[in-house]
Amino acid sequence: METTKTIINYTHRQAGHCESGATSNLFKFNGLELSEPMAFGIGNGLYFSYIPFLKIQFAPMISFRNLPNTVFKRSTEYMGIEATVVKKIKDPKEAMEMLDRNLERGIPTGCQVGVFQLTFFPPEYRMHYNMHNLVVFGKEGNMYHISDTVMEHPQLLSYDDLLRVRYAKGAFAPQGKMYWINHPVDRPIDLKPAIIKGIKKTVYEMIGIPFPLIGVKGLRWMARDIKKWPKKHGEDKAAFYLGQILRMAEDFGTGGAGFRYIYGAFLKEAGEMFNNHQELLEASDMMGRTANKWREFTYIGARNCKNRSKPEEDYGTLSQKLLEIAADEENVYKKLKNLKF
Amino acid sequence: MEENTNPVYKDKAYGQYRELSYSYEDGGQFQKTVGFHGEADRVILQQAWDLFHERIEEARQRVISGKVSPVVYYMEKNLLDPLNLSMMAGIAVWRVKWHFRPGVFKRLSESTLQKYAAAFNITIDQLKKVE
């Protein structure tokens, strides 16, 4: 059997977050230098939602990120770059053929996949999480070359394995979703309007939505709930629930502190772009401090998880800390809301 | 990469993966560093897996003593709950729960068994017993 070999000259750069990393790498391939925080900020990656009645892996659902594919879709839309997103492909074989055709035409293609059966992932991290993103950039016989931005190096994955992860089932099933940029970017792109749009949308999503479980309000709700956990569910379960928050915030794919560091870096970069815009730089500083507080919260929480039976800090203190964080974040968003460019 | 394993991790499989993380210093600089997971991350991950292993072991004992069907064991092994399993196998939640009874499980048709086997990524023969 002859082996076909097509490998696109694609640079793999490691990133903190899977989707903004993939977006930034795809832009770089098409001739537009855009850093990861920039892609993340313009594409509204920042988000918070707390859904106590929906259980994921036996603990309440907490999300620090937006819905899958938001970052790529919004960043291309705001910058006016032509891109294609195929949402749902019914036939798995057809989806793989589409991918092959793209590779032959020299287009690296992003795919949404489920993590649980991704073979190159460390086994400890294989949870049921269907919002992961990777970029396929080459095919060699039966093996695909994969650039997964949370890994240090490009990886190899066989046809069957790729098909299985692209059609992982469960909540937020990927259903073979794929996306790519149509043409190389040949004109200079003005990032400023895109940045303004991105900031406005993020501010709206964090403090503007009139629903109590989303954004800063959701954070406050969760802080109030933490206090009740030990009494309501017992020490063991409370520790596990707390662990779930920390895993979501600090485990890989966030760049640390639930994306707050990346967003701070974005604000700083944006401030420099607007001729050292004083208020943007101040906002970035505030965001950085908030992120440090998040990390502190993680350390205290982890110590709490370690000595499950005798918690060092009681849950009231943790709740107090979270409320503080919520107040700080609200200040940042309020400042961003009143910005004049 | 082998010799570079993170000393924090006792298990070798953990230690080989380095991730990129950001940090902030009060001077106003955001920094990227590529490094291993720290102690805090390991603790919370270990805690989650302790609970999962506990649940899997408990399910195994209950299957062996004949209280529940092997579906429960494989469900726990794949870190699922009945709702997720119903989504993956394409069987209604109440039917999934009904199949937890050993007597009911024995009378299941080939095609239903095949659905479970596909969801768990194993063969039907494996599905009928636990390791």
Cβ atoms of B43 and A304 closer than 8 Å: no
Considering only the beta carbons, identify the residue of A240, A250, A265 that sits closest to B41.
A250
Asked if B28 is an interface residue toward chain A (Cβ–Cβ < 8 A), one would say yes
Output the pLDDT for position A1. 44
CA neighbours within 13 Å on the CB side: how many for B47? 28
Mean pLDDT of chain A: 83
Q: Is the pLDDT of residue A312 over 70?
A: no
Residues in Cβ contact with A80 at an 8 Å cutoff, skipping those fewer than 6 apart:
A189
Higher-scoring residue by pLDDT: B116, A253: B116
Inter-chain CB proximity A57 and B14 less than 8 Å:
no
Residues in Cβ contact with A154 at an 8 Å cutoff, skipping those fewer than 6 apart:
A12, A137, A145, A146, A147, A148
Q: Is A317 exposed, middle or buried (0-12, 13-18, 19+ CB in 10 A)?
A: middle
- Enclosing domain of residue B52: 41-128
Q: Comparing C-alpha atoms, which of A239, A265, A237, A261 is closest to residue A249?
A: A261
3-state helix, strand, coil in chain A (%, to 5): 50, 15, 35
Are B59 and B89 within one domain? yes
Are B15 and B50 within one domain? no
- Dihedrals phi, psi of B11, to nearest 5 degrees: -80, 135
Spans of all domains in chain A: 5-33+83-181, 191-337
Output the pLDDT for position B94. 93
Cβ atoms of A76 and A95 closer than 8 Å: no
Inter-chain CB proximity A57 and B48 less than 8 Å:
yes
3-state helix, strand, coil in chain B (%, to 5): 60, 10, 30
Are B14 and B73 within one domain? no
- Range in A129-133, A219-223, A330-334 with the lowest mean pLDDT: A129-133
Write the CATH number for B46: 1.10.260.40
Asked if B23 is an interface residue toward chain A (Cβ–Cβ < 8 A), one would say yes
Output the pLDDT for position B98. 93
pLDDT tens track, chain B, 131 positions: 334 444 444 444 455 667 777 778 777 777 777 777 667 777 777 778 888 888 899 999 999 998 889 889 988 888 888 888 888 888 899 999 999 998 998 998 999 999 889 888 888 888 887 77
Are B22 and B53 within one domain? no
CA–CA gap between residue A49 and residue A46 (Å, rounded): 10
Are B68 and B84 within one domain? yes
Q: State the total domains in chain B.
A: 2
Bridge partners for A36 per DSSP: none
Predicted TM-score (pTM) of this structure: 0.84
- For residue A260, the distance in angstroms to the closest alpha carbon of chain B comes to 9
- How many pairs of residues across A and B have Cβ atoms under 8 Å apart? 115
CATH code, residues A5-33+83-181: 3.90.70.10
Inter-chain CB proximity A298 and B40 less than 8 Å:
yes
All residues of chain A having their beta carbon less than 8 Å from the beta carbon of residue B118 are none
pLDDT digits (tens, 9 = 90+) for A211-235: 888 888 888 898 888 888 888 888 7
Query: Is the Cα dihedral A272, A273, A278, A282 positive or negative?
Result: negative
Considering only the beta carbons, identify the residue of A37, A171, A264 that sits closest to B24.
A264
Output the pLDDT for position A256. 64
